[in-house]
């Protein structure tokens, strides 16, 4: 399968996957403008999903590892403390864009005040110190991409990792761990991936049963992907736009 077709099939752009939209995290935040406990809880969940893209952006701006951790914590702390988010408009309500814009303003303010964020003050939203050393090294800016491109790459990888994690939990809970492991290799259509005939032989299934099961696997993947994206936009129409942006980031 060509790379572009592969990406499209993974995300399901152009499909009919529906998403229950009214209770998504970002919609709750926008509707309540951050004043309600539900909106605050939703914003905290979203912040936890976005710390990797934010940290990577700050590192590309020239901050050292510890300073980037402090700035990332400081940014999220300020975001959570404000709670009103009155500057957000629904027509510009994609969380990814809002956070990047807010982060840029935050960094400008920090440089203007020349004030370092004090470490260890108050409770931290995310324990970056617990991040595995090898994971942290993998997030350092070792390539010439712009900070915005790195932010987008981290956003895409974090989003896809979360989708796969949820899908894996779903399959393992049902006792289908072996099926998930096999289909996960098929999903990316990479060289060396087992054939459906091989999977059928290994799991004692017919090829037709494997084919149907893999079709359901892809449908679940696409549905979860749309659901995760829906949590980060303010209108249903933005889901497809974010999917297209995701494809563009992956292709790049």
Sign of CA pseudo-dihedral 41, 90, 84, 55 = positive
- pLDDT for res 2: 40
pLDDT of 161? 92
Q: Which of 118, 221, 103, 210 is nearest to 160 (CA)?
A: 221
Q: What Å distances lie between residue 181 and 82, 164, 178, 189, 217, CA to CA? A: 43, 11, 5, 14, 11
Do residues 100 and 148 touch, judged by C-beta distance below 8 A? Answer: yes
pLDDT confidence of residue 178: 93
Over range 127-152, report the average pLDDT: 64
Residues 159-206: pLDDT tens digits?
999 999 999 999 999 999 999 999 998 886 667 788 999 999 999 999
The predicted model gives 152-163 an average pLDDT of 92
* pTM of structure: 0.72
Task: Please report the DSSP string for the chain in residue order.
Answer: --HHHHHHHHHTTTS------TT-HHHHHHHHTT-SHHHHHHHHHHHHHHHHHHHHHHHHTT--HHHHHHHHHHHHHHHHHH---TT--GGG--HHHHHHHHHHHHHHHHHHHT-PPPTT-S--SS-GGGS-HHHHHHTS--S---HHHHHHHHHHHHHHHHHHHHHHHHHHHTT-HHHHHHHHHHHTT-TTPPPHHHHHHHHT--HHHHHHHHHHHHHHHHHHHHHHHHTT-SSTTHHHHHHHHHHHHHH-
At 1, list the tokens. 């399968």
Given this model, what pLDDT does residue 20 score? 45
Q: Indicate the average pLDDT of the chain.
A: 77
- Tens of pLDDT, residue by residue over 14-43, are 554 554 444 567 766 666 555 677 777 777
- The overall longest dimension of the chain from CA atoms, in Å, is 66
pLDDT at 177: 94
Contact 150, 141 (CB under 8 A): yes
Question: What are the extents of the domains in the chain?
Answer: 1-15+146-252, 25-124+131-142
Q: Is the separation of the CB atoms in 53 and 246 below 8 Å? A: no
Q: What is the pLDDT of residues 85-122, one digit of tens each?
A: 555 554 456 888 888 888 998 898 887 764 444 444 55
pLDDT digits (tens, 9 = 90+) for 49-73: 888 999 999 999 888 899 999 999 8
**What count of other Cβ atoms lies within 10 Å of the Cβ of residue 139?**
17
Q: Cα separation of 40 and 21, whole Å?
A: 18
- pLDDT value at position 248? 92
pLDDT of residue 5 exceeding 50, the answer is no
């Amino acid at each position: 399968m060509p790379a572009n077709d592969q990406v499209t099939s993974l995300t399901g752009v152009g499909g009919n996957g529906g998403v229950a939209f009214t209770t998504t995290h970002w919609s709750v935040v926008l509707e309540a403008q951050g004043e309600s406990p539900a909106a605050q809880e939703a914003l905290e969940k979203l912040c936890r999903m976005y710390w990797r893209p934010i940290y990577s952006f700050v590192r590309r701006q020239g901050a050292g590892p510890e300073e980037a951790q402090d700035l990332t914590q400081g940014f999220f702390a300020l975001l959570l403390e404000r709670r009103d988010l009155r500057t957000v408009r629904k027509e510009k309500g994609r969380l990814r864009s809002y956070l990047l814009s807010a982060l840029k303003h935050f960094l400008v303010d920090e440089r203007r005040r020349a004030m370092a964020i004090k470490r260890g003050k108050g409770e931290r939203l995310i324990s970056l110190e617990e991040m595995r050393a090898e994971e942290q090294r993998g997030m350092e800016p070792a390539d010439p991409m712009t900070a915005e491109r790195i932010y987008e790459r981290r956003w895409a990888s974090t989003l896809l990792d979360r989708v796969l994690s949820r899908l894996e939990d779903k399959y393992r809970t049902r006792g289908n761990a072996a099926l998930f492991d096999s289909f996960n290799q098929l999903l990316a259509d990479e060289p060396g991936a087992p054939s459906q005939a091989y999977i059928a032989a290994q799991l004692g299934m017919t090829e037709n049963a494997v084919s149907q099961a893999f079709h359901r696997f892809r449908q679940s993947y696409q549905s979860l992907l749309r659901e995760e994206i829906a949590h980060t936009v303010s209108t249903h129409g933005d889901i497809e736009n974010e999917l297209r942006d995701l494809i563009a980031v992956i292709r790049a």
